[in-house]
Each structure stands twice: as C-alpha cells, then as structure tokens.
Chains A and B, each alone.
Chain A
Amino acid sequence: MKVTIIDYGAGNVFSVKAAFERLGKNAIISADAEEIKSSDLVIFPGVGHAEDAMAQLKKSQIDLLLPNLKQPVLGICLGMQLMCQHTEEGDTEGLGIFEDLKVVKFDPKFKVPHMGWNNLIDTKSILEDVNEDVYFVHSYFAPISKYTIASCQYQEKFSAALQKDNFFACQFHPEKSGEVGSKILTNFLKQI
C-alpha cells in the first residue's frame, strides 16, 4: 500500500508521517504529480494561512491534480478548508471539491482560535461510532452541509468532517488526537 502525504510547504507533514508510522504504515512525503497519482491513499495536510497555501498549490499545479484523483484522499485542517469552494481567510478561492461550501471565520466575540479537545457529534461514514474528543485548532470553519459526516459544537455547530465520494476531510487533527485519532486513521486506511 502506498500512502503519499502532499508536501506543498504548508503542512505539519512530519507529524502526519509519524502518525502513519505508529500504525505500521510507511508514508512518503512528495509534491511530485506521478508519485501522488500512483498512490493508493493521498493525504492533504495543511497548517498556516489559506492564501499562501493556495498560492503554493498553484505553483506546483497540485490545484489541478487533486480534484481529479480517484483514490481515497484525506484533507486535514487547512487542507480541508482548501478543498471547499472558498474561504474567508485572505478571500481565497478553494479547490471546489466540496462545491459551494464556504469557509467562514468564527465570531471574534468567542475565543479564537477554537483550540483544544472537543467531541464529535452526528457522526457517520468512516466516523460512525467515533463520538469522542479530538484535537482542533482553527479560526475558520465550514458550516454544516450535505457533505458533513461529523459535527462539532463551538459557537455554533460546524462541520468537523466532510466527505464527497472518495474525498474525505477533517477539520481536527487525527494525527494529534491520541488513540481516537489512530482509530480514525485506521478507518481511513480501510478505504482502499
């Protein structure tokens, strides 16, 4: 099984790789189109600013490649937000995989970032039965939509995870979510 973590200069790729290694799976870190296309599973991580990250994606033309992948893809945190149609962060156009879904900023009346452990609710698909606490750290969120496969409550209910066909995405960090996170990554590995 070949697992590739997309490296576009905006991710905590090391932690994601380490998480797969703890599950006994070697993951390669690459920005090469052929490597990515020939993978069984693709991880699209992301930490940082949406506008810069999107610019990096365009530079390496991953923005054209990613939406056309047929194998299971997992977007994490900023990766998830960039898979949406648009994000308010830097007024950035996303990849549009989760069509018409617009990422918005938390109301600054609440503590932002939403940082720490919060529990998943209304879970289905690969997150069915996972109602435990997972680790979040983000200032923008995707509202509930037809793609939502898990929600979370902060200032309002928002999408903790999304799915459209072979595209999965989570706002939280499974690689930092303890045993629960490992369980989620194991569920994702079963998608092949």
Chain B
Amino acid sequence: MLKKRITPCLDIKNGRTVKGINFEGLVDAGDPVELAKIYSQNGADELVFLDITATHEGRKTMLEMVKNVALSINIPFTVGGGISSLEDAALLLKNGADKISVNSSAVKNPNLIKELAQKFGNQCVVIAIDAKLIDNKWKVFLNGGRIETDLELFAWAKEAVNLGAGEILFTSMDHDGTKNGFALEALKKMSEIVNVPIIASGGCGNMQHFKDVFLESKVDAALAASVFHFGEIKIPDLKTYLKTNNIEIR
C-alpha cells in the first residue's frame, strides 16, 4: 500500500532556513543541512527546499547546499525557487536534487513544464501553485504571492498536468501561516480533477490538521514548515498519531 507522505519544507535564503508568516516577516530557523539530517532521521518521508534568494551569489550557495544535502540524507528531496530554464534544473538535479519545482516561471512560460518533463521525465517535475480565494474564485499568484494573475487554480493545475507536471504542490495563501488547518475544500476538489500526486501546503498548526487532510481529501503528502522547525510537532509523534487513526504511514 502506498503511504501518505509527511513533508517538512525548508525556505532557504542565503543558505539559511527561514519561514515567514503569510510570506512576510522572516525568522531564522537554522542550518538547512543539519535540519535535513534531523528530519530524515526522525522519519520525514521527503523534504522540500524552496530558494527565496534572488541574487546570483545566493543561487551558487543554493547549489552547494543541495550537494551537501544529497551527501547527508537518504530520502528524496525537491528543490524549487528561481528555476526558469532547463539549465537551472539540470544543475540542481546533477547536484543531487530528486525533483525540481517550478512556479512563476511556468506561468510565464508554460512550455517550460513540457521541456522539463521531456528532458528529465515528468516524475522530476513538480508544479508549485500559490493561490488565494478572491470573490469565490481561487486565483493564482506569482513571485511568492506578490503578483496576482488571471489564472484560475484548478484550470492551471489541469493544464500543468497536461503539459507534463508529475506532481502538484498547492499552497493556499489564505491558510499559510495561520495554523488553522489546510484548505480542505480546495484540496478535495484538486485531488478529484487531476490524477498526479498532490502535496497539500499552507495552514498546518497541529496533528489533527494532518489527519483531516488525509481523511477528507485524496492528497498524497502534507507539507509544513514552522510547526516542525520550532518543534511544535515531532515527526515520530505525528506518525504514531496518524497510524492510530488508520492512515497508511511509513
């Protein structure tokens, strides 16, 4: 039986882990390689690293970090942020990333998804989508939630999958940082309209939120950051809790 995945997410700026509240007000939460090792040893099923550095130096630091992570852990990990070409992706994969995630660059150039899937296989290509409910419509946002687009979440998700995305990482900006639980309705709908794995993101505050998202939607993975970074939820406790609630967990 395929297990549900617990996915700690590390936002990286200049080689350090940071996590904002609603994408603003960043707080330092440690060294990414050390955190990655701890999560891996504690039973995380995979990791996501999102590079929020924009500078050239920052990008080089990121490659070095990816390499060190790959040397240190033996679980899969995804790297996203600032990937806008086949070359960017190739470098990250060569340095040990298992999957790469694209967001704004794919909206601006949807063909990128197709090219990445053809070159590296669709299992390597994660489409990350940030969206917000506006007038009863889920609107897609770019650049870390700063730019609103006309794209509708579900239509974009479908298109991305048709272009070759092998997984969707959906972050509800309305829920992110609130710790009030995942965007259950949207995730439920999403997992009914696409047939690739889905990672739920945004809003996790306690163990019950993981249970709810796995029981009420067909998502495959649930992502969280600060609750793990600050030790509010311990992964072994979370896994025991989910197993007790009859959720298939490694």
Residues of A within 8 A of B (CB): 12, 14-15, 18-19, 21-22, 47-49, 108-119, 133, 135, 137-139, 153-154, 173, 175-179, 181-182
Contacts and interface: CB of A to CB of B under 8 A. Distances in A.
Question: Top 6 A-B pairs ranked by shortest CB distance?
Answer: A133-B250, A117-B250, A113-B123, A117-B3, A137-B123, A14-B96
A181 B167 CA distance: 24
A48 B71 contact: no
Contact of B5 (A19, A112, A117, A181): A117
Contacts of B35: none
B3 A116 contact: yes
B30 interface: no
Contacts of A173: 76
Nearest to B44: A178
A179 B120 CA distance: 27
B121 interface: yes
Interface in B164-196: 166-167, 195-196
Given A48-B121, A153-B1, A116 B195 contact: no
A127 to B, nearest CB: 17
B121 A176 contact: no
A137 B3 contact: no
Nearest to A48: B121
Contacts of B167: 113, 115
B14 interface: no
A29 to B, nearest CB: 11
Contacts of B70: 14-15, 18
Given A49-B121, A113-B166, A108 B3 contact: no
A109 B195 contact: yes
Nearest to B221: A116
A163 to B, nearest CB: 23
* Size range of the chain B interface in the assembly: 20 to 34
A134 to B, nearest CB: 10
A115 B197 contact: yes
B197 A12 contact: no
A135 B196 contact: no
A58 B40 CA distance: 38
A54 to B, nearest CB: 14
Given A111-B197, A114-B2, A178 B123 contact: no
Contacts of B220: 111, 115-116
A49 to B, nearest CB: 6
Interface in B101-150: 118-124
A12 B93 contact: yes
B87 to A, nearest CB: 15
Given A22-B74, A48-B121, A181-B74, A116 B2 contact: yes
Contacts of B46: 116
Contact of A139 (B118, B119, B120, B123): B123
Given A14-B96, A48-B121, A176 B3 contact: no
A187 to B, nearest CB: 15
Given A21-B71, A111-B220, A139-B122, A116 B1 contact: no
Nearest to A119: B1
A133 B70 CA distance: 20
A119 B167 CA distance: 21
B75 A176 contact: yes
B98 A110 contact: no
B96 A15 contact: yes
Given A19-B74, A115-B123, A173-B76, 10 more contacts: A12-B98, A47-B124, A48-B121, A108-B195, A110-B195, A113-B197, A116-B46, A118-B3, A133-B3, A178-B74
